[in-house]
Structure 1
Amino acid sequence: MDPNAAMSDGSKTALSKSTFHFVAGLGSGVFTAVLLQPFDLLKTRVQQSGTHSLSAAIADIWAAPRILPALWRGTVPSALRTGFGSAIYFTSLNAIRQTAARLSSPASRSANPQSSSSSLPKLSNTSNLVAGAVARSLAGFILMPLTVLKVRYESTLYSYTSLASAAKDILAKEGVRGFFSGYGATALRDAPYAGLYVLFYEQSKKRLSTLFPASHPLQTSIPTAMPTPHAATINFTSGILAGALCSAVSNPFDAVKTRLQLQPARYRNMWLGAGRLVREEGFRALWDGLALRMARKALSSALAWTVYEELVRRAEVEWGRRTGRGDARDRL
């Protein structure tokens, strides 16, 4: 066989798999963003001022002429940010984890599909932590302009009528730098969140998988994949638990980030912004929107990862059929 042809086929296969991860991440991200936009909108309204009142935010939306459009205000920038953010995140995360898996020992790479709800690489706790943090930081930086537009569009502090007008206003008043307002707080929020999320998520899946015994307990050499209902239940439950825990840990950074993006002249950087927020409104302000964020992040993470993992599982089975390779280690 021609080595060059083999390399070409390998490159095409790698590109196809990367493209699939991108599309799967995009689809799961857009789905969760549209479905859970009201949670995000309410969180932004609660965090934008010192009232700390969810009821006031709900009353403000309830007073709108059309309630449904008011609840889903900012859906377009949110869907774009979350969709492409998830696509970039899952693609880069998979590339990092695949590389880490190849560099690790054969023993650490092996995974028993009989007891696993996932077909993704199995890594050490440290590798999962670092991979999640790096992938999220990269995705966050690329999508930061959309994040700023989304937050301002959701807020009542600005009366933007379209994304184009919002972008023009930010560019005219704050320059390019305005599109990256709050990135420091965002990175400090998202990198630990994503790293801890992947760590807790994988550990939770590992433990919950023991609740579902293999289909062929006496034939451990037979690679019997876990049924879809069991796998989806494990992945969704793990996503809920990991998302809620990580949201609680990272909420102060989210509160500061929102103020930086809404009022950059008043809250000039992360440290000064955090100090001013605490001095004027107390430590409680750092936990504004916690319940909403926990609910939204837990649900969005669980839905996104469950949809993404199931798409990967199905694609891997189909890929194995077409190529005639059934080796569970030949991961997407």
Structure 2
Amino acid sequence: MSDGSRTALTKSTFHFVAGLGSGVLSAVLLQPIDLLKTRVQQSGAHSLSAAIADIRAAPRLIPALWRGAVPSALRTGFGSAIYFTSLNAIRQSAARLSHPTTLTNPSSSSTSSSLPKLSNTSNLLAGALARSFAGLILMPLTVLKVRYESTLYAYTSLAGAARDIFAREGARGFFAGYGATAIRDAPYAGLYVVFYEQSKKRLSALFPQATTTTTTALSKEGARGGEMGLSRAAGINFTSGVVSGVVCSVVSNPFDAVKTRIQLQPGRYRNMVQGARRMVGEEGVRALWDGLALRMSRKAVSSALAWTVYEELIRRAEAGVGRRARNSL
């Protein structure tokens, strides 16, 4: 294997591991909010107060709040790993096509980003494509997670849930709601990357760094200077993630509400168009916005946390590789 191929493989591994770690962390920490969102969206008559009452009535509160945490962590963890790895590969390729002779080195930039810089259109398409790909691969876990969280099914284990879905609906049952999920996630992810990068750019300009912290400076100045630079970048990235998550959640919530109904009651809600019409016809337009506050808060924090942890891990990993390369000279 050539040095170039080995370096590319190492960087892809960095992105996969960083995405996995950030996804698992955000999924486990925010599982109670995701659980409540599923309960609220499962039917038009199920309010937040009713969902909270159901959970409080459980024999053990903590396990009840984190019901579905395992499939959620698996789905979000591996979903984030696949998404971030795919997104980085797509953005790197797009950057080379846009600038065939040079590829921007984000670590030397005055912004907080550790990722390639692209146009808004390229970011939109890259985010949408990467999310659609990751969503397709992780769809079976998504279906298991949603049904495990719901009160409409009395599953006691993931294996039992998988056997029941296959027996009732066949392999197709594991991909219930993918159309609505893709229509929800692709625009969400694309817009998120656009808003996230633009927000980082503007916040970096509003709050300039007193001294630019580059990879070389990190190795020369030691841990103290590096932590100051990373702290500023983390703050900008987290704030940008929250803002982007709130905006994109509002836009995509109707697709999320329909997707949840299809996954929970595929016989009643057959596809996105029929499901949306039925929800609006029986419950009014408000049904499309069920769980908005919960989803908005959960997505804003989880996306911000995942992207911040991901970028910090990538920044540290690449800085470590750079130091080892210089020391070997």
Is the TM-score greater than 0.5? yes
SS of the residue aligned with 1:227?
A: helix
1-side partners of 2:176 and 2:5: how far apart?
38
Give the corresponding residue for 2:140. Answer: 145
* Alpha-carbon distance in structure 1 between the residues aligned to 2:292 and 2:176: 21
The aligned counterpart of 1:262 is 264
Task: Provide the rounded CA distance (Å) in 1 between the counterparts of 2:151 and 2:115.
Answer: 42
Task: Name the counterpart of 1:45.
Answer: 39
Which of 181, 184, 205 in structure 2 is aligned with 1:186?
181
What is the CA–CA distance in structure 1 between the aligned matches of 2:211 and 2:72, rounded to whole Å?
Answer: 45
State whether residues 255 and 286 of structure 1, in contact with CA within 8 Å, keep that contact through their aligned partners in structure 2. yes
Match of 1:57 among 42, 51, 54: 51
Q: Residue by residue, what CA displacement relative to the aligned partner does 1:51-107 show, whole Å, maximum 9, x if unpaired?
A: 251111101111111111111000000000000000000000000011111111368
Asked whether 1:164 is paired with 2:152, we answer no
Spell out, residue by residue over 1:207-232, the C-alpha distance to the aligned partner (whole angstroms, 9 max, x if none): 00013324348xx9x97887011100
Contact 1:255–1:285 under 8 Å retained in 2: yes
Report matched runs for 1:68-217 at 5 Å: 68-105=62-99, 109=104, 113-216=108-211
Among residues 271, 281, 284, which one is paired with 1:279 in the alignment? Answer: 281
CA contact (8 A) 2:124 2:194 kept: yes
Which letter maps to 1:311? L
Name the aligned partner's letter for residue 280 of structure 1.
E
Give unpaired runs (5+ residues) of structure 2: 219-225
CA contact (8 A) 1:114 1:215 kept: no
Residue among 1, 7, 17 paired with 1:13: 7
Q: What's the CA shift for 1:109?
A: 3.6
AA at the equivalent of 1:117: S
Q: For structure 1, which runs of at least 5 residues remain unmatched after alignment?
A: 1-6, 326-332
Q: Which moved more, 1:130-139 or 1:15-24?
A: 15-24
Q: Tell me how large the CA RMSD over aligned residues is.
A: 2.0
- What is the distance in 1 between the residues matched to 2:117 and 2:326? 23
Cα distance in structure 1, aligned partners of 2:269 and 2:229:
51
Q: What is the one-letter code of the residue matched to 1:282?
A: G
Report the equivalent of 1:288.
Answer: 290
Whether contact under 8 Å (2:106, 2:115) holds in the other structure is no
8 Å CA contact 1:113, 1:223 repeated in 2 = no
Equivalent pairs: percent with the same residue? 77
Distance of aligned partners of 1:266 and 1:117 in 2 relative to their CA distance in 1, 3 Å threshold:
same
| Distance (Å, rounded) in 1 between the aligned partners of 2:155 and 2:107 | 53
In 2, Cα distance between the equivalents of 1:92 and 1:154? 29
CA contact (8 A) 1:41 1:73 kept: yes
TM norm structure 2: 0.92
Provide runs of 4+ in structure 1 moved above 3 Å: 106-114, 214-217, 222-226
1:98 counterpart letter in structure 2: Q
Name the CA shift for 1:112/1:62 in 2 (closer, same or farther; >3 Å). Answer: closer
CA distance in 2, matches of 1:283, 1:316: 48
**Counterparts of residues 285-324 of structure 1 (less than 5 Å):** 285-324=287-326
**SS of equivalent to 2:2:** helix
What is the alpha-carbon distance in structure 2 between the residues aligned to residue 73 and residue 216 of structure 1?
Answer: 46
Q: Deviations over 1:32-64 (max 9, x none)?
A: 000000000000000001125111110111111
C-alpha separation between the residues in 2 aligned to 1:210 and 1:112? Answer: 16
Aligned to 2:221: none
